[in-house]
Amino acid sequence: MPSGRPLVVGAPGAGKSVLAPRFALDHLSGAKPGGRIPVMLPLASWDPTSQDLVSWAEARLILDHSWLAARTAWGTALAVELLRTERLLLIPDGFDEIRSEARPEAVRRLRASLGHAEPVVITSRGDEFDAATASAGFLLPATAAVRLLPLGLNDVAEYLRRTMRKVVTGDLVSTKWDPLFARLREDSGVAHTNRLRNVLTTPLIEAPLLTAQSTGLTASRPRWLSKSSGRPRATTAARRPSHRGRRPPAGSPVRGKRQWLCGPGAAPTVGCAQRTGGGGETSGP
């Protein structure tokens, strides 16, 4: 991209915050001596009504990387010098996580701090960014939007078929997911089917589904269909690990009073459900 200023937009769960670190890693793998170092900055922590972008970035860099607080020969922090000498490629992640009333001011601050040539990678939900620029009265110059499109049902089905264990019955080769996707195609006009379709075609849900199924955390068959109503539904077996009738293996995250329902040994991430000893569930950080 000639401008070096992509704006990555997409719906919730489209993969914006996954694409950003992947971009950073790819950028580092091809980096040349003296080139910019990509660094992700969570915009949820920025209050643009009280801080300009550079001041906030300096403070955030020191908070995330304490060694950048060390003083240089000029008496300034390393973080300040890295920004001043243009050694960093900022990746402000999650513009939509800024308070809605502060987003127009954030657009103004971004434009003032970045000018027309400073490279930057910004991620946001599309509607929220559009509303903020409309309220601010201008766009960010030289910025090219990259929109992440939703997955198709056939794309998800094919991905799971290629990555899941196959079941061979005579000449038929299938996976445990095939009955579900066949039902979703048949009932395409039914409201509750469409809701489940929307969940399954969200990229954010694919990794937990694949992890749970491939590691045996779900029941032997994905019981997605309710026999009483015929409605596709995410059953208890699909939402949490099933250890009924057997003792959890040593080192399993379900041995203690907490279990992170994102696969064994997985660190809590956005979208994980935490179950406490009292039986309640809260969202992951």
Instruction: Give the mean model confidence (pLDDT) for residues 210-237.
Output: 48
Contact of 42 with 63, CB cutoff 8 Å: no
> pLDDT class for 221, splitting at 50, 70, 90?
very low
Asked if residue 275 has pLDDT above 80, the reply is no
- The verdict on pTM exceeding 0.75 is no
Alpha carbon distance 209, 222 (integer Å): 11
Domain ranges (residues) in the chain: 6-148, 153-239, 248-285
DSSP 3-state assignment of 259? strand
6-148 CATH pick, 1.10.3300.10, 3.40.50.300, 3.20.20.70, 3.40.640.10: 3.40.50.300
Do 142 and 110 form a contact (C-beta atoms < 8 A)? no
| Range of lowest pLDDT (57-71, 137-151, 242-256, 262-276) | 262-276
Q: Is the dihedral of CA 57, 60, 64, 70 positive or negative?
A: positive
Average pLDDT over residues 276-285: 41
Higher pLDDT, 214 or 199: 199
